[in-house]
Amino acid sequence: MKVLRGCDLEWLFEELAHIVRQERPLPTALQELAEANRNTTRGVIARRLATALEEGRTLSQAVAREEAAFPPGVAGALQAGERSGRLSEVLGSLSESARVETALRPYDLSFSRYELLRLLAFSGSGALPISRLK
């Protein structure tokens, strides 16, 4: 399994944040996402995560099992969100990080996830002003 692309990561994290905010059961919602995205990488990953959750794993544990599909540090960030009760906020930050990384790709700028999260955290509005990078 290859690493999910930025747009797929953004989609998955945003969907998961929405599901958590709505307090919907993650396994069921992920199965629905998998079905709606059948025969795609994002659908396969959604199904694998749903299966792991149905087996009693946490989301961070499920992501750790699929480490080849996710960038380093994602499972740890999710675990921190689970422990702190701020999972939806962490998922939102991960989605924004993926969005920014995708936006920066055409400019051939390389930022680590840590650097992107730092930029987002200190930007005040929660979004990096992409227009200033042009």
Q: Quickly count: other Cβ atoms within 10 Å of residue 121's Cβ.
A: 10
What confidence score (pLDDT) does residue 128 get?
44
Domains of the chain: residue spans and CATH: 6-133 (1.20.81)
What confidence score (pLDDT) does residue 102 get?
79
3: CB partners within 8 A, 6+ apart: 68, 69, 70, 71
* CA distance linking residue 87 with residue 81, whole number of Å: 4
* CA distance linking residue 88 with residue 77, whole number of Å: 11
What confidence score (pLDDT) does residue 19 get?
96
Each residue's pLDDT, cut to its tens digit, for the chain (134 residues) gives: 667 888 899 999 999 999 999 999 999 999 999 999 998 999 999 999 999 999 999 999 999 999 899 988 999 999 999 999 999 999 999 999 888 877 776 665 555 655 666 656 655 544 444 444 44
Is residue 94 within 8 A of residue 74, CB to CB? The reply is: yes
SS3 string, 30-66, reads HHHHHHHCCCCHHHHHHHHHHHHHHCCCCHHHHHHHC
- What tokens does 97 get? 């990080």
What confidence score (pLDDT) does residue 103 get?
79
**What is the model's pTM?**
0.76
23: CB partners within 8 A, 6+ apart: none
Q: Quickly count: other Cβ atoms within 10 Å of residue 75's Cβ.
A: 19
* CA distance linking residue 84 with residue 62, whole number of Å: 18
For residue range 57-73, what is the model confidence (pLDDT) as tens digits?
999 999 999 989 998 89
